Amino acid sequence: MSVLESPSTRRVEQRWVLVGIGLVVSLLCAQVVVGFVRADEPSFLEKVETCLTERATPFGEATGDPIALSAKRGALRTTVDGNSVTVSLGGSESDAERLYEAYTAVASDDVVANLLDRRRKVVFLWSSEPTTAQREFMILCTLDAQE
């Protein structure tokens, strides 16, 4: 009998196999727990809605705007200090770029220059040119969605 076939070597191998199985089971359990925790996390659209609600700013669906409605994370319409804005939440920066390009394809150069704005994963379409305060308000309420 060789050293590799001795009972003590087999026990060591069995221990390593058991440790490996235990590690794999632990990692799977951790994945399941993280999945349940993430399932309870609000969506990016819900986070924007919460921000607007906390600041007493009413909002609604972006009905009638097929470009906004195609946004992966959703869209809404609100009014900031008398200026209406449609907010489209892209699922990625490339999705936001797709939304921005779709608006530029159908909008005039003046609208694109003054009323359309993109911040990473979020696209804003204003009814009239926003003030700095209006723009900053919406950027603040969409910070989570911009990541």
- Which pLDDT score is estimated for 38? 61
For 70-125, write each residue's pLDDT tens digit: 999 999 999 999 999 999 999 999 999 999 999 999 999 999 999 999 999 999 99
Which H or E element spans position 54?
Answer: helix 44-54
Instruction: Compare 39 and 92 and report the one with higher pLDDT.
Output: 92
pLDDT at 146 over 90: no
For 45-62, write each residue's pLDDT tens digit: 999 999 999 999 999 998
pLDDT at 63 over 90: no
Domains of the chain, residue spans: 3-39, 44-146
C-alpha–C-alpha distance, residues 33 and 49, integer Å: 27
Kindly list the distances between the CA atom of residue 5 and the CA atoms of 14, 15, 37, in Å, as whole numbers in the listed order: 13, 15, 47
